Chains A and B, each alone.
Chain A
Amino acid sequence: MPANLRELRDRKASVSTIKKLTRAMELIAASRIVKAQQRAQAAGPYARELTRAVSAVATFSNVDHPLTTEKENPRRAAVLLITSDRGQAGAYSANVIREGERLNQLLREDEKQIVPFISGRKGIAYYTFRQREVAQSWSGDSDNPSFARAREIADALIEAFLTPTEEGGVDEIHIVFTRFVSMLTQRADVIRLLPLEVVEGEEAPAADDVLPLYEFEPSAEEVLDGLLPKYVASRIHFCMLQAAASELANRQRAMKSATDNAQDLIEKLTRDLNQARQAQITQEISEIVGGASALADANAGSE
Protein backbone atom coordinates (compact mmCIF):
# COMPACT_ATOMS: atom_id res chain seq x y z
CA MET A 1 0.00 0.00 0.00
CA PRO A 2 2.30 2.74 -1.22
CA ALA A 3 -0.35 5.46 -0.88
CA ASN A 4 -0.84 4.70 2.80
CA LEU A 5 2.91 4.72 3.30
CA ARG A 6 3.32 8.13 1.76
CA GLU A 7 0.39 9.46 3.75
CA LEU A 8 1.94 8.29 7.00
CA ARG A 9 5.29 9.77 6.04
CA ASP A 10 3.65 13.15 5.30
CA ARG A 11 1.78 13.15 8.56
CA LYS A 12 4.91 12.34 10.50
CA ALA A 13 6.76 15.19 8.81
CA SER A 14 4.02 17.68 9.61
CA VAL A 15 3.78 16.57 13.24
CA SER A 16 7.55 16.98 13.53
CA THR A 17 7.25 20.56 12.28
CA ILE A 18 4.49 21.24 14.80
CA LYS A 19 6.66 19.83 17.53
CA LYS A 20 9.54 22.10 16.60
CA LEU A 21 7.14 25.04 16.65
CA THR A 22 5.58 24.32 20.02
CA ARG A 23 8.99 23.57 21.46
CA ALA A 24 10.25 26.97 20.29
CA MET A 25 7.21 28.68 21.78
CA GLU A 26 7.74 26.86 25.03
CA LEU A 27 11.33 28.06 25.24
CA ILE A 28 10.38 31.62 24.36
CA ALA A 29 7.69 31.66 27.04
CA ALA A 30 10.12 30.22 29.57
CA SER A 31 12.72 32.90 28.92
CA ARG A 32 10.11 35.65 29.02
CA ILE A 33 8.76 34.54 32.38
CA VAL A 34 12.10 35.33 33.93
CA LYS A 35 11.98 38.79 32.41
CA ALA A 36 8.38 39.27 33.51
CA GLN A 37 9.29 38.34 37.06
CA GLN A 38 12.24 40.71 37.01
CA ARG A 39 9.96 43.47 35.82
CA ALA A 40 7.49 42.72 38.58
CA GLN A 41 10.35 42.89 41.05
CA ALA A 42 11.68 46.14 39.59
CA ALA A 43 8.25 47.72 39.95
CA GLY A 44 8.14 46.64 43.60
CA PRO A 45 9.97 49.61 45.19
CA TYR A 46 7.72 52.16 43.52
CA ALA A 47 4.56 50.40 44.65
CA ARG A 48 5.95 49.93 48.16
CA GLU A 49 6.98 53.56 48.62
CA LEU A 50 3.70 54.73 47.20
CA THR A 51 1.69 52.49 49.52
CA ARG A 52 3.71 53.71 52.48
CA ALA A 53 3.14 57.34 51.55
CA VAL A 54 -0.57 56.89 50.91
CA SER A 55 -1.13 55.12 54.21
CA ALA A 56 0.90 57.83 55.94
CA VAL A 57 -1.37 60.52 54.56
CA ALA A 58 -4.47 58.49 55.28
CA THR A 59 -3.34 57.84 58.85
CA PHE A 60 -2.21 61.35 59.71
CA SER A 61 -4.90 63.45 58.24
CA ASN A 62 -8.64 63.35 58.30
CA VAL A 63 -8.99 64.12 54.69
CA ASP A 64 -11.88 62.71 52.75
CA HIS A 65 -11.05 62.18 49.15
CA PRO A 66 -13.55 61.35 46.41
CA LEU A 67 -11.51 58.27 45.49
CA THR A 68 -11.73 56.80 48.99
CA THR A 69 -15.37 57.61 49.70
CA GLU A 70 -17.91 54.84 49.43
CA LYS A 71 -20.92 55.95 47.48
CA GLU A 72 -24.29 55.33 49.02
CA ASN A 73 -26.38 52.88 47.12
CA PRO A 74 -23.97 52.00 44.30
CA ARG A 75 -25.76 51.22 41.07
CA ARG A 76 -23.14 51.02 38.34
CA ALA A 77 -20.01 48.91 38.62
CA ALA A 78 -17.07 48.93 36.24
CA VAL A 79 -15.21 45.67 35.70
CA LEU A 80 -11.70 45.72 34.25
CA LEU A 81 -10.95 42.34 32.73
CA ILE A 82 -7.27 41.62 32.06
CA THR A 83 -6.83 38.91 29.42
CA SER A 84 -4.11 38.01 26.95
CA ASP A 85 -3.64 39.19 23.40
CA ARG A 86 -2.70 35.83 21.96
CA GLY A 87 -3.93 32.31 22.43
CA GLN A 88 -1.71 29.25 22.78
CA ALA A 89 -1.83 29.68 26.52
CA GLY A 90 -4.07 26.82 27.53
CA ALA A 91 -7.09 27.84 29.55
CA TYR A 92 -5.55 31.12 30.69
CA SER A 93 -7.96 33.53 29.05
CA ALA A 94 -10.92 31.18 29.46
CA ASN A 95 -10.29 31.00 33.21
CA VAL A 96 -10.05 34.71 33.76
CA ILE A 97 -13.08 35.35 31.55
CA ARG A 98 -15.05 32.78 33.53
CA GLU A 99 -14.06 34.52 36.76
CA GLY A 100 -15.25 37.76 35.18
CA GLU A 101 -18.60 36.21 34.30
CA ARG A 102 -18.96 34.99 37.87
CA LEU A 103 -18.36 38.51 39.16
CA ASN A 104 -20.80 39.93 36.62
CA GLN A 105 -23.41 37.48 37.86
CA LEU A 106 -22.76 38.52 41.45
CA LEU A 107 -23.04 42.21 40.60
CA ARG A 108 -26.19 41.63 38.64
CA GLU A 109 -27.73 39.89 41.62
CA ASP A 110 -26.96 43.05 43.60
CA GLU A 111 -28.87 44.91 40.92
CA LYS A 112 -25.85 46.75 39.71
CA GLN A 113 -25.33 47.67 36.13
CA ILE A 114 -22.06 46.47 34.67
CA VAL A 115 -19.71 48.65 32.66
CA PRO A 116 -16.98 46.47 31.16
CA PHE A 117 -13.44 47.69 30.50
CA ILE A 118 -11.20 45.17 28.80
CA SER A 119 -7.50 44.73 28.29
CA GLY A 120 -6.29 42.08 25.85
CA ARG A 121 -7.56 40.90 22.49
CA LYS A 122 -9.00 37.62 23.78
CA GLY A 123 -11.39 39.38 26.14
CA ILE A 124 -12.37 41.87 23.48
CA ALA A 125 -13.12 39.03 21.05
CA TYR A 126 -15.25 37.28 23.70
CA TYR A 127 -17.32 40.41 24.26
CA THR A 128 -17.69 41.46 20.63
CA PHE A 129 -18.69 37.93 19.62
CA ARG A 130 -21.52 38.12 22.15
CA GLN A 131 -22.31 41.64 20.97
CA ARG A 132 -21.94 43.15 24.40
CA GLU A 133 -21.11 46.75 24.79
CA VAL A 134 -17.61 47.56 26.01
CA ALA A 135 -16.91 50.93 27.61
CA GLN A 136 -13.26 50.98 26.62
CA SER A 137 -10.63 48.47 25.65
CA TRP A 138 -6.88 48.24 25.27
CA SER A 139 -4.75 45.65 23.53
CA GLY A 140 -1.32 45.06 22.09
CA ASP A 141 1.02 44.54 25.03
CA SER A 142 -0.50 41.96 27.34
CA ASP A 143 2.75 40.04 27.81
CA ASN A 144 4.84 43.15 28.40
CA PRO A 145 2.70 45.84 30.00
CA SER A 146 4.30 49.26 30.33
CA PHE A 147 3.57 51.69 33.11
CA ALA A 148 2.34 54.18 30.52
CA ARG A 149 -0.39 51.72 29.57
CA ALA A 150 -1.35 51.20 33.22
CA ARG A 151 -1.51 54.96 33.61
CA GLU A 152 -3.75 55.25 30.56
CA ILE A 153 -6.14 52.67 31.98
CA ALA A 154 -6.03 54.31 35.40
CA ASP A 155 -6.89 57.71 33.92
CA ALA A 156 -9.86 56.26 32.08
CA LEU A 157 -11.13 54.42 35.16
CA ILE A 158 -10.66 57.37 37.49
CA GLU A 159 -12.49 59.60 35.07
CA ALA A 160 -15.39 57.16 34.94
CA PHE A 161 -15.39 56.95 38.72
CA LEU A 162 -15.47 60.70 39.22
CA THR A 163 -18.28 61.20 36.72
CA PRO A 164 -21.66 61.29 38.46
CA THR A 165 -23.65 58.08 38.04
CA GLU A 166 -26.46 59.84 36.21
CA GLU A 167 -24.06 60.99 33.51
CA GLY A 168 -22.66 57.56 32.81
CA GLY A 169 -20.12 57.35 35.60
CA VAL A 170 -19.57 54.34 37.82
CA ASP A 171 -19.78 53.84 41.59
CA GLU A 172 -17.19 51.13 42.03
CA ILE A 173 -14.43 49.50 40.03
CA HIS A 174 -13.31 45.89 40.15
CA ILE A 175 -10.33 44.25 38.47
CA VAL A 176 -10.39 40.65 37.29
CA PHE A 177 -6.90 39.35 36.63
CA THR A 178 -4.75 36.29 37.11
CA ARG A 179 -2.53 36.25 40.15
CA PHE A 180 0.88 34.69 39.72
CA VAL A 181 1.20 32.53 42.83
CA SER A 182 4.09 30.40 41.61
CA MET A 183 5.33 28.86 38.39
CA LEU A 184 2.82 26.07 38.92
CA THR A 185 -0.14 27.96 40.30
CA GLN A 186 -1.87 30.93 38.78
CA ARG A 187 -5.27 31.89 40.04
CA ALA A 188 -7.94 34.08 38.52
CA ASP A 189 -8.71 36.71 41.12
CA VAL A 190 -10.89 39.74 41.74
CA ILE A 191 -9.96 42.87 43.63
CA ARG A 192 -11.91 46.02 44.20
CA LEU A 193 -9.89 48.97 43.00
CA LEU A 194 -12.16 51.89 43.81
CA PRO A 195 -13.29 53.18 46.21
CA LEU A 196 -9.87 52.60 47.65
CA GLU A 197 -9.34 50.72 50.83
CA VAL A 198 -6.09 52.38 51.68
CA VAL A 199 -4.96 50.41 54.68
CA GLU A 200 -3.56 47.27 53.14
CA GLY A 201 -3.38 44.20 55.28
CA GLU A 202 -0.09 43.18 53.72
CA GLU A 203 2.21 45.59 55.47
CA ALA A 204 0.74 46.47 58.81
CA PRO A 205 3.18 48.66 60.72
CA ALA A 206 4.79 46.89 63.64
CA ALA A 207 3.90 48.05 67.12
CA ASP A 208 7.33 49.54 67.81
CA ASP A 209 7.46 51.14 64.40
CA VAL A 210 6.19 54.58 65.39
CA LEU A 211 4.91 56.27 62.31
CA PRO A 212 6.38 59.75 61.94
CA LEU A 213 4.35 62.93 62.02
CA TYR A 214 4.51 64.23 58.52
CA GLU A 215 4.68 67.74 57.23
CA PHE A 216 2.75 68.11 54.02
CA GLU A 217 3.69 70.35 51.19
CA PRO A 218 1.56 72.07 50.08
CA SER A 219 -1.26 70.49 52.12
CA ALA A 220 -2.54 67.08 53.02
CA GLU A 221 -5.46 67.41 50.60
CA GLU A 222 -3.27 68.33 47.69
CA VAL A 223 -0.70 65.67 48.45
CA LEU A 224 -3.46 63.07 48.57
CA ASP A 225 -4.87 64.48 45.37
CA GLY A 226 -1.53 63.95 43.68
CA LEU A 227 -0.80 60.60 45.26
CA LEU A 228 -4.02 58.66 44.84
CA PRO A 229 -4.14 58.62 41.03
CA LYS A 230 -0.53 57.41 41.04
CA TYR A 231 -1.45 54.77 43.58
CA VAL A 232 -4.32 53.56 41.41
CA ALA A 233 -2.05 53.41 38.37
CA SER A 234 0.51 51.49 40.38
CA ARG A 235 -2.12 48.97 41.51
CA ILE A 236 -3.25 48.45 37.94
CA HIS A 237 0.33 48.07 36.80
CA PHE A 238 0.83 45.44 39.50
CA CYS A 239 -2.22 43.50 38.27
CA MET A 240 -1.05 43.71 34.68
CA LEU A 241 2.43 42.48 35.55
CA GLN A 242 0.96 39.56 37.48
CA ALA A 243 -1.31 38.78 34.56
CA ALA A 244 1.60 38.92 32.12
CA ALA A 245 3.67 36.51 34.19
CA SER A 246 0.67 34.18 34.52
CA GLU A 247 0.02 34.30 30.81
CA LEU A 248 3.59 33.32 30.05
CA ALA A 249 3.58 30.53 32.63
CA ASN A 250 0.35 29.19 31.16
CA ARG A 251 1.74 29.42 27.67
CA GLN A 252 4.86 27.59 28.68
CA ARG A 253 2.83 24.79 30.23
CA ALA A 254 0.42 24.56 27.31
CA MET A 255 3.27 24.44 24.83
CA LYS A 256 5.12 21.86 26.89
CA SER A 257 2.16 19.50 26.80
CA ALA A 258 1.68 20.22 23.09
CA THR A 259 5.30 19.25 22.50
CA ASP A 260 4.86 16.08 24.54
CA ASN A 261 1.74 15.18 22.61
CA ALA A 262 3.48 15.76 19.31
CA GLN A 263 6.30 13.49 20.47
CA ASP A 264 3.80 10.73 21.34
CA LEU A 265 2.13 11.15 17.98
CA ILE A 266 5.47 10.95 16.18
CA GLU A 267 6.32 7.71 17.98
CA LYS A 268 2.97 6.19 17.08
CA LEU A 269 3.26 7.27 13.46
CA THR A 270 6.79 5.87 13.25
CA ARG A 271 5.53 2.49 14.44
CA ASP A 272 2.61 2.56 12.00
CA LEU A 273 5.00 3.53 9.26
CA ASN A 274 7.39 0.67 10.02
CA GLN A 275 4.52 -1.78 10.18
CA ALA A 276 3.13 -0.62 6.86
CA ARG A 277 6.54 -0.78 5.24
CA GLN A 278 7.15 -4.26 6.65
CA ALA A 279 3.75 -5.42 5.44
CA GLN A 280 4.54 -4.14 2.00
CA ILE A 281 7.90 -5.95 1.90
CA THR A 282 6.31 -9.17 3.14
CA GLN A 283 3.70 -8.92 0.47
CA GLU A 284 6.27 -8.33 -2.23
CA ILE A 285 8.32 -11.33 -1.09
CA SER A 286 5.31 -13.60 -1.00
CA GLU A 287 4.35 -12.39 -4.46
CA ILE A 288 7.86 -13.19 -5.76
CA VAL A 289 7.91 -16.55 -4.07
CA GLY A 290 4.42 -17.29 -5.34
CA GLY A 291 5.40 -16.25 -8.83
CA ALA A 292 8.58 -18.31 -8.77
CA SER A 293 6.84 -21.47 -7.58
CA ALA A 294 4.11 -21.01 -10.17
CA LEU A 295 6.82 -20.75 -12.82
CA ALA A 296 8.60 -23.82 -11.44
CA ASP A 297 5.32 -25.76 -11.47
CA ALA A 298 4.66 -24.72 -15.06
CA ASN A 299 8.19 -25.75 -16.14
CA ALA A 300 7.86 -29.09 -14.33
CA GLY A 301 4.57 -29.75 -16.15
CA SER A 302 6.04 -29.12 -19.61
CA GLU A 303 9.04 -31.47 -19.21
Chain B
Amino acid sequence: MADDSAKHLEVALVAAERTVWQGQARIVIARTTDGDVGILPGHAPLLGLLQGGTVQVRTVDDEYFVAAAPDGFISVANDRVSILAENAEMGHDIDLEEARRELDQAMAAGLDDADADEVRLAEARVRAAEQTS
Protein backbone atom coordinates (compact mmCIF):
# COMPACT_ATOMS: atom_id res chain seq x y z
CA MET B 1 0.00 0.00 0.00
CA ALA B 2 2.90 2.31 0.68
CA ASP B 3 3.93 2.01 -2.96
CA ASP B 4 0.41 2.51 -4.10
CA SER B 5 -0.03 5.72 -2.25
CA ALA B 6 2.86 7.26 -4.11
CA LYS B 7 1.16 6.59 -7.42
CA HIS B 8 -1.99 8.57 -7.12
CA LEU B 9 -3.06 12.10 -6.55
CA GLU B 10 -5.29 13.28 -3.74
CA VAL B 11 -7.68 15.54 -5.51
CA ALA B 12 -10.09 18.00 -3.98
CA LEU B 13 -12.45 20.02 -6.10
CA VAL B 14 -13.68 22.79 -3.86
CA ALA B 15 -16.38 25.37 -4.44
CA ALA B 16 -16.91 28.38 -2.20
CA GLU B 17 -19.72 26.83 -0.23
CA ARG B 18 -18.95 23.11 -0.35
CA THR B 19 -16.47 20.45 -1.40
CA VAL B 20 -17.71 19.23 -4.76
CA TRP B 21 -15.55 16.15 -5.13
CA GLN B 22 -12.75 14.59 -3.19
CA GLY B 23 -10.90 11.44 -4.03
CA GLN B 24 -7.89 9.78 -5.58
CA ALA B 25 -6.98 10.19 -9.19
CA ARG B 26 -4.36 9.04 -11.69
CA ILE B 27 -4.25 12.18 -13.74
CA VAL B 28 -5.72 15.66 -13.70
CA ILE B 29 -5.78 17.74 -16.83
CA ALA B 30 -6.43 21.43 -16.47
CA ARG B 31 -6.11 24.36 -18.78
CA THR B 32 -4.19 27.26 -17.30
CA THR B 33 -3.58 30.60 -18.92
CA ASP B 34 -0.39 29.15 -20.46
CA GLY B 35 -2.03 26.06 -21.91
CA ASP B 36 -3.08 22.59 -20.83
CA VAL B 37 -1.21 20.94 -18.02
CA GLY B 38 -1.50 17.27 -17.25
CA ILE B 39 -0.69 16.50 -13.67
CA LEU B 40 0.60 13.07 -12.76
CA PRO B 41 1.73 11.87 -9.36
CA GLY B 42 5.08 13.38 -8.49
CA HIS B 43 4.38 16.67 -10.25
CA ALA B 44 6.35 19.67 -9.11
CA PRO B 45 4.49 22.14 -6.90
CA LEU B 46 2.37 24.40 -9.03
CA LEU B 47 0.02 27.30 -8.62
CA GLY B 48 -1.89 28.30 -11.68
CA LEU B 49 -4.92 30.22 -12.78
CA LEU B 50 -7.42 28.20 -14.76
CA GLN B 51 -8.75 29.33 -18.05
CA GLY B 52 -11.47 27.80 -20.14
CA GLY B 53 -13.14 26.58 -17.03
CA THR B 54 -12.97 22.81 -17.27
CA VAL B 55 -10.88 20.23 -15.46
CA GLN B 56 -10.61 16.60 -16.48
CA VAL B 57 -9.94 13.94 -13.92
CA ARG B 58 -9.30 10.21 -14.27
CA THR B 59 -9.79 8.51 -10.95
CA VAL B 60 -7.93 5.46 -9.62
CA ASP B 61 -11.00 3.35 -10.51
CA ASP B 62 -10.54 4.41 -14.13
CA GLU B 63 -13.55 6.61 -14.06
CA TYR B 64 -13.35 9.74 -16.06
CA PHE B 65 -15.17 12.96 -15.41
CA VAL B 66 -15.15 16.58 -16.37
CA ALA B 67 -15.91 19.37 -13.98
CA ALA B 68 -16.71 22.98 -14.60
CA ALA B 69 -14.42 25.30 -12.65
CA PRO B 70 -14.79 28.77 -14.11
CA ASP B 71 -12.30 31.39 -12.97
CA GLY B 72 -10.69 28.98 -10.60
CA PHE B 73 -7.15 28.10 -9.79
CA ILE B 74 -5.19 24.97 -9.20
CA SER B 75 -2.59 24.24 -6.62
CA VAL B 76 -0.39 21.16 -6.61
CA ALA B 77 1.97 20.15 -3.83
CA ASN B 78 3.13 16.77 -2.54
CA ASP B 79 0.69 14.89 -4.76
CA ARG B 80 -2.19 16.90 -3.43
CA VAL B 81 -4.18 18.69 -6.06
CA SER B 82 -6.66 21.35 -5.05
CA ILE B 83 -8.89 22.90 -7.60
CA LEU B 84 -10.67 25.94 -6.26
CA ALA B 85 -13.47 27.70 -8.04
CA GLU B 86 -16.34 29.67 -6.59
CA ASN B 87 -18.87 27.88 -8.76
CA ALA B 88 -17.26 24.50 -9.31
CA GLU B 89 -19.66 21.82 -10.50
CA MET B 90 -19.48 18.25 -11.77
CA GLY B 91 -20.08 17.90 -15.50
CA HIS B 92 -22.73 15.19 -15.09
CA ASP B 93 -24.70 17.40 -12.68
CA ILE B 94 -25.22 19.98 -15.36
CA ASP B 95 -28.21 19.91 -17.64
CA LEU B 96 -26.73 20.60 -21.08
CA GLU B 97 -29.89 22.11 -22.56
CA GLU B 98 -30.36 24.39 -19.63
CA ALA B 99 -26.70 25.39 -19.63
CA ARG B 100 -26.91 26.24 -23.34
CA ARG B 101 -29.97 28.38 -22.73
CA GLU B 102 -28.20 30.22 -19.94
CA LEU B 103 -25.21 30.79 -22.18
CA ASP B 104 -27.42 32.30 -24.87
CA GLN B 105 -29.03 34.54 -22.30
CA ALA B 106 -25.70 35.60 -20.90
CA MET B 107 -24.37 36.30 -24.40
CA ALA B 108 -27.42 38.35 -25.23
CA ALA B 109 -27.23 40.29 -22.00
CA GLY B 110 -23.46 40.56 -21.87
CA LEU B 111 -22.62 42.37 -25.06
CA ASP B 112 -20.97 45.02 -22.95
CA ASP B 113 -18.09 43.63 -20.94
CA ALA B 114 -19.72 44.02 -17.53
CA ASP B 115 -21.35 40.61 -17.79
CA ALA B 116 -18.31 38.84 -19.11
CA ASP B 117 -18.09 36.87 -15.87
CA GLU B 118 -21.50 35.38 -16.42
CA VAL B 119 -20.67 34.49 -20.00
CA ARG B 120 -17.52 32.71 -18.88
CA LEU B 121 -19.43 30.84 -16.19
CA ALA B 122 -22.10 29.72 -18.65
CA GLU B 123 -19.48 28.73 -21.21
CA ALA B 124 -17.62 26.61 -18.72
CA ARG B 125 -20.81 24.81 -17.72
CA VAL B 126 -21.75 24.09 -21.33
CA ARG B 127 -18.27 22.82 -22.10
CA ALA B 128 -18.20 20.57 -19.07
CA ALA B 129 -21.65 19.17 -19.84
CA GLU B 130 -20.73 18.57 -23.49
CA GLN B 131 -17.55 16.75 -22.67
CA THR B 132 -19.33 14.55 -20.19
CA SER B 133 -22.05 13.38 -22.51
Contacts and interface: CB of A to CB of B under 8 A. Distances in A.
A240 to B, nearest CB: 12
B24 to A, nearest CB: 17
A215 B15 CA distance: 23
Nearest to A147: B16
Nearest to A145: B17
Contacts of B14: 45-46, 49
Interface string A32-58: 000000010011011001101100110
Interface string A180-224: 000000000000000000000000000000001111111000110
Interface residues of B, number: 24
Interface stretch (A82-90, A226-234, A265-273): A226-234
A50 B84 contact: yes
A223 B49 contact: yes
B39 to A, nearest CB: 11
A151 interface: yes
A217 B78 CA distance: 18
A237 interface: yes
B49 A39 contact: no
A217 B33 contact: yes
Contacts of A53: 47, 73, 75, 82, 84
A201 B131 CA distance: 43
B86 A217 contact: no
B12 A49 contact: yes
Interface string A260-278: 0000000000000000000
Contacts of B47: 53, 56-57, 214-217, 223
Contacts of B77: 56, 212, 214
Contacts of B32: 217-218
Task: Output the residue of A52, A53, A213, A234 with the most chain B CB within 10 A.
Answer: A53
Interface string B30-55: 00111001000000111111000000
A208 B49 CA distance: 28
A223 B73 contact: yes
B16 A43 contact: yes
Interface string B45-82: 11111000000000000000000000001010110001
B5 interface: no
B16 A237 contact: yes
B48 A223 contact: yes
B105 interface: no
Main secondary structure of the interface of A (DSSP, over half): helix
Contacts of A57: 47
A46 B73 contact: no
Contacts of B17: 39, 42-43, 46, 146-147
A52 B49 CA distance: 15
Contacts of A46: 14-17, 84
Nearest to B48: A217
Contact of A49 (B34, B37, B82): B82
B33 A218 contact: yes
Contacts of B15: 46
Contacts of A49: 12, 14, 75, 82, 84
Contacts of B49: 217-218, 222-223, 226
A231 to B, nearest CB: 11
Interface of B: 12, 14-19, 32-34, 37, 44-49, 73, 75, 77-78, 82, 84, 86
27 contacts: A43-B16, A43-B17, A43-B18, A45-B19, A46-B14, A49-B84, A50-B84, A53-B75, A53-B82, A56-B75, A147-B16, A212-B45, A214-B45, A214-B47, A215-B44, A215-B46, A215-B47, A215-B48, A216-B46, A217-B48, A218-B49, A222-B49, A223-B47, A226-B49, A226-B73, A233-B86, A237-B16
For the complex of A and B, 5 pairs with smallest distance between CB atoms: A217-B48, A212-B45, A147-B16, A217-B32, A42-B18
Interface of A: 39, 42-43, 45-46, 49-50, 52-53, 56-57, 146-147, 151, 212-218, 222-223, 226-227, 230, 233-234, 237
